[in-house]
Chains A and B, each alone.
Chain A
């Protein structure tokens, strides 16, 4: 029997879970800003049915990679295909992102969520709104100005707002940095549900424990290059690249 509280992702009116598979195919991806190479020659295939964790030291290019995959930045080289398609307005509407520093509108918590509901315009979105407010414990905060929330509360709100868009793929950039264990648990539970509902999750984190708990496969970046992509088990037990080994042992900073 399916868990009745599984988030009904992704459901647009009259549209079942798309039959087409939506793997991410990344070929020769590079990004240059102000003459510096920030990402270089990334080749990567990500299945649509796994929770992928991206790891790497500070400044490795993890946030930039997420922004490229989400179409917020344009690649300087290479291409990104999602289910065989280039990113465009239409495909990007089926993606969502939680930023490293969440940007919330200068409005109440409820108004921030309502904004996403209004964008979606589906009757399910309203239903989803109350489920997410329950799941992420936002009911008591509903009428508070979003920008006065604590860091953890803001992350919960940002996650709820992103999930309201019923995305096929969800990017998260260190959503649990600086959060207390209870909030981390809340967010992880929600991600599990989203995952069970069929949403592909791509998560950047520095928290090894969290990575172990969530990851099905791990991507390791170092100085703008992909040094490893393996299943979670093999990554944590027998990291293939020396950089990943050193990172796991707490040795490299950059």
Chain B
């Protein structure tokens, strides 16, 4: 199919020219995704650590719950957030619908369970190793949590990347709450959806390639950090 070749050359051309319209969309994609992952980490890392350390009744239930929520369909999250932020909804007064803020909220909801579930997994393993030492030294649980988070930081980078990957590639939620408004809430994925619906498959695929390259760059950067840490045997 000729479209493939077209798309590749188009993708490189777009990048080469540093098309300003594309730049705006890429920047917004990254801004929304980074903010969402940041918020998800601020919420998810402590919860994941608490689940790994604390033993309380119903803990297993929470673990199962967060593992299940990892598979939340983006469209459902989009709808829920839309219903919350709609003018007819309880948080309508915030006037967040159809703004990047709404997209950040939706993506945070999507990413948080991933961060919680994977953090819990990583830290449970490390806690199995540290638990006796923590107990011996009578380390309070919140200090133990910080210690686990810090000592597992390079393993947690992979967790954060998993969240990043989910957020940056997601379209179902952001198109509902963002509205795909040109220059305001248009991100890579919604732009791809739009070009597809215009039948401009080559451009859509080219945008997809650009998205892929961005994700690749982010992953490579994080992995490079991790690899150097592994050489230091901290990982």
Interface residues of chain A, those whose CB is within 8 Å of chain B, are: 67, 70-72, 89, 92-93, 95-97, 99, 103, 105-107, 115-116, 119, 145, 147-148, 165
Which 3 pairs, one residue from A and one from B, show the smallest C-beta to C-beta distance? Answer: A106-B151, A103-B133, A97-B136
Docked-complex contact B234 and A106, CB < 8 angstroms = yes
Chain B's nearest CB lies how many Å from the CB of A71?
Answer: 8
Q: Given the complex, which residues of A lie within 8 Å of B233, measured CB to CB?
A: 106, 145, 147-148
Docked-complex contact A115 and B138, CB < 8 angstroms = no
21 contacts between A and B (CB under 8 A): A67-B132, A71-B135, A72-B135, A96-B136, A96-B137, A99-B132, A99-B133, A99-B136, A103-B133, A105-B130, A105-B147, A106-B151, A106-B234, A106-B235, A107-B150, A107-B151, A107-B234, A115-B147, A119-B138, A119-B143, A145-B234
Docked-complex contact B151 and A93, CB < 8 angstroms = no
B136's nearest neighbour on chain A, judged by CB, is: A97
Query: Which residues 219-235 of B have a CB within 8 angstroms of A?
Result: 232-235
Q: Given the complex, which residues of A lie within 8 Å of B232, measured CB to CB?
A: 145
- Judged by a CB distance under 8 angstroms, whether B129 is at the interface is yes
Q: Given the complex, which residues of B lie within 8 Å of A89, measured CB to CB?
A: 138
Docked-complex contact A103 and B234, CB < 8 angstroms = no
Docked-complex contact A116 and B136, CB < 8 angstroms = no
1/0 contact trace for B162-206 toward A, CB 8 Å? 000000000000000000000000000000000000000000000
Q: Given the complex, which residues of A lie within 8 Å of B235, measured CB to CB?
A: 106
- Judged by a CB distance under 8 angstroms, whether B93 is at the interface is no
A89-B138, A106-B151, A119-B138 known; 6 new pairs, CB 8 Å cut-off, are: A67-B132, A72-B132, A103-B132, A116-B137, A119-B137, A147-B233
A102's nearest neighbour on chain B, judged by CB, is: B133
Query: Which residues 99-140 of B have a CB within 8 angstroms of A?
Result: 129-130, 132-133, 135-139
How far does the alpha carbon of A147 sit from the alpha carbon of B234 in the complex, in Å?
8
A103 in contact with B137 given A115-B147, A148-B233 (CB within 8 Å): no
Q: Given the complex, which residues of A lie within 8 Å of B133, measured CB to CB?
A: 99, 103
A70's nearest neighbour on chain B, judged by CB, is: B136
How far does the alpha carbon of A106 sit from the alpha carbon of B152 in the complex, in Å?
8
Q: Given the complex, which residues of B lie within 8 Å of A119, measured CB to CB?
A: 137-139, 143
Number of interface residues of B (CB under 8 A): 18
A145's nearest neighbour on chain B, judged by CB, is: B233
Q: Given the complex, which residues of B lie within 8 Å of A107, measured CB to CB?
A: 150-151, 234
Docked-complex contact A103 and B139, CB < 8 angstroms = no
Q: Given the complex, which residues of B lie within 8 Å of A70, measured CB to CB?
A: 136
Q: Given the complex, which residues of A lie within 8 Å of B147, measured CB to CB?
A: 105, 115
Q: Given the complex, which residues of A lie within 8 Å of B139, measured CB to CB?
A: 119
How far does the alpha carbon of A116 sit from the alpha carbon of B136 in the complex, in Å?
11
Interface core residue of B130, B147, B152, B234 (most chain A CB under 10 Å): B234
Chain A's nearest CB lies how many Å from the CB of B220?
Answer: 24
A90's nearest neighbour on chain B, judged by CB, is: B138
Q: Given the complex, which residues of B lie within 8 Å of A105, measured CB to CB?
A: 130, 147, 151
How far does the alpha carbon of A92 sit from the alpha carbon of B135 in the complex, in Å?
9
Chain B's nearest CB lies how many Å from the CB of A148?
Answer: 5
Chain A's nearest CB lies how many Å from the CB of B155?
Answer: 10
Q: Given the complex, which residues of B lie within 8 Å of A103, measured CB to CB?
A: 129-130, 132-133
How far does the alpha carbon of A54 sit from the alpha carbon of B165 in the complex, in Å?
55
How far does the alpha carbon of A89 sit from the alpha carbon of B235 in the complex, in Å?
32
How far does the alpha carbon of A50 sit from the alpha carbon of B135 in the complex, in Å?
25
Interface core residue of A92, A105, A107, A165 (most chain B CB under 10 Å): A105
Chain B's nearest CB lies how many Å from the CB of A143?
Answer: 11
Interface core residue of A89, A95, A106, A165 (most chain B CB under 10 Å): A106
How far does the alpha carbon of A113 sit from the alpha carbon of B179 in the complex, in Å?
54
How far does the alpha carbon of A155 sit from the alpha carbon of B107 in the complex, in Å?
47
A161's nearest neighbour on chain B, judged by CB, is: B137
B143's nearest neighbour on chain A, judged by CB, is: A119
Chain A's nearest CB lies how many Å from the CB of B158?
Answer: 16
Chain B's nearest CB lies how many Å from the CB of A180?
Answer: 23
How far does the alpha carbon of A96 sit from the alpha carbon of B147 in the complex, in Å?
19
Docked-complex contact A72 and B234, CB < 8 angstroms = no
How far does the alpha carbon of A185 sit from the alpha carbon of B3 in the complex, in Å?
76
Q: Given the complex, which residues of B lie within 8 Å of A99, measured CB to CB?
A: 132-133, 136
How far does the alpha carbon of A103 sit from the alpha carbon of B127 in the complex, in Å?
11
Query: Contacting A72 at CB < 8 Å: which of B130, B136, B152?
Result: B136
How far does the alpha carbon of A154 sit from the alpha carbon of B223 in the complex, in Å?
29
Chain A's nearest CB lies how many Å from the CB of B124?
Answer: 16
Chain B's nearest CB lies how many Å from the CB of A14?
Answer: 20
Docked-complex contact B138 and A93, CB < 8 angstroms = yes
